[in-house]
Structure 1
Amino acid sequence: MSDYFQNASSLHTHLLNEIGKAIATGAYPEGTVLPREAELQEQFQASRQTVREAIKVLSAKGMVYARKRAGTFVQQRDKWNLLDPDVLGWHATGAIPHEILADFVEMRRLIEPAAARLAAQHATDGDVERIRVALKDMQDFVSDTEHFYEADIEFHMAIFSASKNRVIDRISAILRPLLEASFKLQSEANRSEGLDAGYDLHEAVYLAISAHDGEKARSAMEHLLERAMKEI
């Protein structure tokens, strides 16, 4: 019985992700009607209940809406919950609207300096080591854009965790896909300039946190985000 429920859950997740990606990438454009239940059942070898549950989740995320006797339609993008980690994750990296990314950097400027200050105050030795390792990876990959930004994401996730603020740490689940999209744009801006300057700004944040200097950590993070805003 447990295998049955596990398989049903996996199929639901697969169906949800596939339809979500198809909507986010434009395979099902805004304003168009989705395939009918029977078609989706046949395509994914899923039950009617599984299809309906997936559509219900997509509706809750603002991506689709139903019209009586007309079917289920793809909602306009400005109605989507773009702060939902699933919705963001279904987008191709370069497909998140630039204005959303600019708003995202503004939000980072509200949250991350405070997170850096809290990390300086509350980080354990293990937390500081996690930040140091991420910074070391950034240094090692300063000539490898893709791996540099993977390490960059880990650097910021480590600071959120080190803040010991449960709300800030939970927000990291929303921020990760936005960071990935944001960093893709920043990597394009850095092609001619190189990544060394970005590394130096991150090092300043790390040194302040490792010295448990909250005000310096906050200020260093503000400088880092000023650069990010210019690149976006």
Structure 2
Amino acid sequence: MTDHPRSGAHDRLVTSLGTSIVTGELPPDSDVDPVALESQFGVSRTAVREALRVLSAKGLVGARPRRGTFVAPREQWALLDPDVLRWRFADRVDGVFLDELGEVRLTVEPTAARLAASRRTDRDLADLEDALAAMRSAGEKDADEQVTADLAFHDALLRAAHNELLLQMSVVIEVGLRLRDQFVHGALTTESADKHAEVLLAVRKQRPKAAETAMRALIEKSIADVEIAKKAI
């Protein structure tokens, strides 16, 4: 993969244009005028060209002879790209995405827990135990520490499955959990920590089916919390 030159102006252009595209401000098939971007952002032609290359690699823009650069159809977007995920939810919480995230998590994480129970190492267990201890230490008072510890637990679980493809889902889960925390205030309670502990216990005792069941119950509780929060809006 070719590295793209980076600069403050370049990053601002990539972020601004990428956000405009994924939030719908620039809808699919809209023309993108490189000359106008030079003027709008006060950047060089080279900076615009490199920014468009980055966005093209993420599937957000395309180019055709005699047409020029345009916003690509949504089905071409790299929706799991970390930047695309962040841009999509930079200033808002998307209930539809949280629903989709729940469906993905129910597909991925119970399987990861089952595999982790069979494949975990002592280091994996230590990472899971440290994350759970941090969750309990944070209690219900420090939201930032709660989220950090929760993310660490789910990341450690995916790593304990020792499957590189499953591990690629960690970025989706991270963005989704941060969004959920914005949507469901105080999402990590003592009950939540206890459910994580049930997953850890099954993984520690190498009980694949129990680990899978415990993780499914944890995620179903998270989905239910989101539904309650949506009804309260």
TM-score of the pair, normalised by structure 1: 0.79
Distance in 2, Cα, partners of 1:114 & 1:32: 39
Aligned length: 223
Residues 59, 76 of structure 2: 8 Å contact kept: yes
Residue 159 of structure 2: aligned partner:
161
Q: Give 1:134 deviation, angstroms.
A: 0.9
Distance in 1, Cα, partners of 2:74 & 2:95: 13
Distance in 2, Cα, partners of 1:217 & 1:63: 39
Give ranges in structure 2 of 5+ residues lacking alignment: 227-233
2:98 is the counterpart of 1:104: no
> In structure 2, do the counterparts of structure 1 residues 94 and 19 end up closer, same or farther at CA, with 3 Å as the change threshold?
closer
Distance in 2, Cα, partners of 1:167 & 1:128: 20
Distance in 1, Cα, partners of 2:215 & 2:3: 43
Distance in 2, Cα, partners of 1:163 & 1:93: 31
Residue 230 of structure 2: aligned partner:
none
Distance in 1, Cα, partners of 2:196 & 2:148: 14
Residues 93, 182 of structure 2: 8 Å contact kept: no
Distance in 1, Cα, partners of 2:148 & 2:46: 38
Percent identical residues:
35
Q: Which residues in structure 2 correspond to 1:1-232 (within 5 Å)?
A: 8-10=5-7, 12-24=10-22, 28-30=25-27, 36-42=33-39, 44=41, 46-64=43-61, 72=69, 74=71, 80-92=77-89, 95=92, 97-143=94-140, 144-187=142-185, 190=187, 195-232=189-226
Residues 185, 231 of structure 1: 8 Å contact kept: no
Distance in 2, Cα, partners of 1:94 & 1:214: 39
Distance in 2, Cα, partners of 1:214 & 1:72: 50
Give ranges in structure 1 of 5+ residues lacking alignment: none
Distance in 1, Cα, partners of 2:3 & 2:12: 12
Distance in 2, Cα, partners of 1:182 & 1:93: 13
1:162-194 CA distances to partner (integer Å, 9 max, x unpaired)? 111111112213332222223322336x4xxx7
Residues 4, 50 of structure 2: 8 Å contact kept: no
Q: Give 1:219 deviation, angstroms.
A: 0.9
Distance in 1, Cα, partners of 2:110 & 2:137: 25
